[in-house]
Amino acid sequence: MTVALFDLDGVLTSTAVLHRNAWKQAFDAFLSERDPEGFDEFTEQDYLDYVDGRRREDGVRAFLHSRQIDDVPAETLAAIGEGKNDLFTATLERDGVDPYPGSVRYLKAAQQAGLRIAVVTSSKNGAAVLDAADLSEYVEVRVDGLETASRGLPGKPAPDSFLLGAELMGVTPAGAVVFEDAISGVEAAVAGKFGYVVAIDRVGGGQADAMRAAGADVVVNDLDELLPA
Ligand SMILES: O=P(O)(O)OC[C@H]1O[C@@H](O)[C@H](O)[C@@H](O)[C@@H]1O
């Protein structure tokens, strides 16, 4: 295999946590206003099950549906996502972004070994995150939430964004390896019949088992583990 398709948030950069925190603020504000008495907070498991790896609008719909909230007008759904995005971008601008050191080492080693690198992310902030983390130089092709939206492609867990990444890199899915930290992303890679699927478990608990059940070929805690000692 000569091409590697990396998810971004949680794989190369620690921004999955920034996304999760911003989602929590946005959803908790919505839920507590809608039902102050019965307020039941947005949890880390909610993030992993319904939001992680998915496009912004898909995450909003999937989470609210999990709470049997299906009567929200489209403008309100959009406003929740926009509120979350304002929180996310403000944190990004204030604190910057840390790439995982093990991921940087892995990118360098992959590049030296002649592997060509693409990033496939559901986020519309993909370019800003790559730039802030100083990783853009490694990336030959970027497929992000803006690109898939402009082409009318469905988001993860549908395979389309990864398939587009492979196509733009000029390889078949079988000729590419996918690196993912979200269950929706592992499902997308498996659905696309990619050559090899590496899952990165950043959260512990039942995540590694869920990743294997979703079809990951291997689960690691950090990309460093894949490098020779
Ligand atoms: O709102 P954005 O920046 O377009 O990101 C959409 C999604 O992008 C994914 O990469 C993240 O895992 C999700 O948490 C996030 O919600």
Tens of pLDDT, residue by residue over 165-215, are 999 999 999 999 999 999 999 999 999 999 999 999 999 999 999 999 999
Q: Which run of H or of E encompasses 199? A: strand 196-200
**Every domain of the chain and the residues it spans:** 3-14+97-226, 16-95
Q: What's the helix, strand, coil split of the chain in %, to 5?
A: 55, 10, 35
Residue nearest to ligand 1 atom 16, measured at CA: 56
d(CA 207, CA 214): 10
The string of pLDDT tens digits covering residues 5-40 is 999 999 999 999 999 999 999 999 999 999 999 999
Which residues lie with the beta carbon below 6 Å from any ligand 1 atom? 9, 16, 19, 51-53, 55-56, 59, 85, 121-125, 145, 182
Question: Taking the model in full, what pTM does it have?
Answer: 0.97
CATH class belonging to 16-95: mainly alpha
Q: Which amino acid is at 2?
A: T
The reported pLDDT for the residue numbered 80 is 98
CA angle 21–140–50, rounded 5-degree value: 30
CATH code for the part of the protein at 3-14+97-226: 3.40.50.1000
Residue of 7, 56, 88, 144 with the most ligand 1 atoms within 8 Å of its CB, for mutation? 56
Residue 1 has pLDDT above 80, yes or no: no
Same fold, 3-14+97-226 and 16-95: no
ipTM above 0.95, yes or no: yes
Report CA-CA distances (Å) from 62 to 69, 157, 224.
Answer: 10, 12, 33
